[in-house]
Amino acid sequence: MSEWDRTVDVIVVGQGIAGSCAALEAKRAGVEVLVLERASGGGGASALSQGIFYLGGGTDVQQACGYEDSPQNMYDFLRASTSHPDDEVIRTFAEGAREHFDWLEKQGVPFTRTGFSGKAVYLQTADCLLTTGNEKIWPFKDMAKPVPRGHQARSDEVNGGLSAMRALLARCEDEGVETVYNAAVTKLETDGTGRVVGVVARIDNAEQRIAARRGVIVATGSFTNNADLVRKWLPLLSDTSSPLGVPSNDGAGLGLVEDAHGQLAAMSGVIATASIYPPEGLVKGIVVNSKGERFVAEDSYHGRLAGFIMEQPDQKAYLIVDSEIFAYPEAESAKHTLIDGYETVTEMAQGLGMPAGTLERTMETYNRDAQNGEDTQFHKQPPWLKPLDKAPYAAFDISFDRSIYNYITLGGIDTDSHSRVLDAAGKPISGLYAAGACAAHIPRDGKEYASGLSLGPGSFFGRVAGREAAAA
């Protein structure tokens, strides 16, 4: 081993939420851990988030708010609503989610015991539990009992993501997890069998080769801020799309793993958002494309709605409301623009340049269904059904190439339920693990996403990676 500058048991590359959880679990397993973080401090994109963790199976918060959930019910929903090819990944997460909530809370991540029953993107109150996905919409509501699973961490001073990361980073420091900042890993080292045995890192302007006796965990974040990769894999993103993340979310970990013969998956997946709510009353409106046709249930999770808008002709979409529910979308960053008000539906169709008669038929069908309490086209749920018959009418431009849709990438390193990186044959690469936003998500596109399905599985499988690497 004289060729190495240093040797430890486990190397963790990145100190966002997945890397922090991995480091803690490996350290508690009694092995020597070294975290290498490229930035000058820990936290990553997780610290910028609202701190929503998608967890269930009967957490203390769910019980305190009067909801019954089970691992099987959580699995049923995730299995029905996502297209992840490895059933064991979903099963492992669903069965471990309740214990993981308890673990996070024990690390100091703050959660209250109150919930919010309305429709919101995130909360600005002390409430914790909210519905953050497509649990209540058809067909998923018939495949699993709808239960809220978005657990938003809270602090009186900062956003939930920062409060969560502060707690985890403090725990790492308290327990003596060694971390080197401004340390850019440039290569994974392998032996003659293909096992990953260490890394090459640039630290203090000098290159170091550091060996890992047991394993290397890659937790480097998404490729959201890598313009070349975004152009290659996400051609439907428009010029007005805006990435969410930190500068180091450039996909560096993906390149490291590919060079070690690891595979990538779901690279075309993206969750984009420019929510039409709050106020939630706008969900009672309808969303139509440039032809004047509806194409999705408007009560869908905002990422699902965006996924459908992205696919419409010329990516055009309009939110139509009447005078009874008129309000401006409160998501100021989305920049949804009021086009105009109209005394009649025909006048509105003409003003929006739609084919003659189409919007009129759409409105007629929708109003008849709303009056009868059943959306026969897209199964929008009764609480959000209201005939749009109180003139004047208004149209907001929510087009994908006009409004500002913030996005994060969902594709990344292919891993199994043990957080092991897989090769082209689907076999684990010895000594190599990955977790967090650098790994391919459980939801494979925005239509499948629920808020919290980054921090929840990211932190969960980070812990898995730490335990697995330490035991290797």
Contact 408, 454 (CB under 8 A): yes
The β-bridge partners of 35 are 12, 179
142-173 pLDDT per residue, tens: 999 999 999 999 877 789 999 999 999 999 99
Class of domain 275-397: alpha beta
Using CA atoms, how far apart are residues 257 and 163, in angstroms rounded to an integer? 31
Element (H, E) at 77: helix 71-81
3-state secondary structure of 287: strand
pLDDT above 60: residue 57: yes
- Maximum CA extent, the chain: 82
257-310 pLDDT per residue, tens: 999 999 999 999 999 999 999 999 999 999 999 999 999 999 999 999 999 999
Using CA atoms, how far apart are residues 20 and 28, in angstroms rounded to an integer? 12
Sign of the dihedral through C-alpha 138, 143, 147, 153 = negative
Using CA atoms, how far apart are residues 422 and 50, in angstroms rounded to an integer? 31
315-373 pLDDT per residue, tens: 999 999 999 999 999 999 999 999 999 999 999 999 999 999 999 999 999 999 999 99
Architecture of domain 1-272+409-472: 3-Layer(bba) Sandwich (3.50)
The pLDDT of residue 157 is 73
| Nearest to 181, CA basis, from 205, 200, 203 | 203
Using CA atoms, how far apart are residues 385 and 372, in angstroms rounded to an integer? 9
3-state secondary structure of 115: strand
> At 57, which amino acid appears?
G
Sign of the dihedral through C-alpha 120, 123, 124, 128 = positive
Element (H, E) at 94: helix 87-106
For 270-300, give one letter per residue: b (16+ CB within 10 A) or e: bbbbbbbbbeebbbbbbbbbbebbbbbbbbb
Using CA atoms, how far apart are residues 364 and 371, in angstroms rounded to an integer? 11
DSSP state letter for 294: B
70-106 pLDDT per residue, tens: 999 999 999 999 999 999 999 999 999 999 999 999 9
DSSP state letter for 61: H
Residues 6+ positions from 465 with CB-CB distance below 8 Å = 18, 22, 25, 217, 219, 419, 433, 434, 435
The pLDDT of residue 2 is 57
Count the Cβ atoms, other than its own, within 10 Å of residue 344.
Answer: 12
DSSP 328-342: --S-GGG--EEEEEE
* Edge-to-edge order in the sheet of strand 337-342: 286-288, 318-322, 393-397, 337-342
Place of tokens 């024990």: 106
Using CA atoms, how far apart are residues 204 and 183, in angstroms rounded to an integer? 8
pLDDT band of 1, cuts 50, 70, 90: very low
Residue 110 tokens read as: 């703050």
Domain boundaries, the chain: 1-272+409-472, 275-397
Relative to beta strand 412-413, strand 420-422 is unpaired
The pLDDT of residue 185 is 98
Q: Does 148 sit behind a cis peptide bond, omega within 30 degrees of 0 on the bond before it?
A: no
Q: Residue range 224-243: average pLDDT?
A: 95
Contact 218, 253 (CB under 8 A): yes
Helices (H) and strands (E) in the chain, counts: 11, 20
Whole-prediction pTM value? 0.96
Tell me the H-state helices in 291-408: 302-309, 345-351, 358-372
Percent of the chain with pLDDT over 90: 97
| Nearest to 432, CA basis, from 419, 445, 443, 444 | 419
Place of tokens 């309009």: 318
| Nearest to 372, CA basis, from 387, 389, 391, 359 | 387
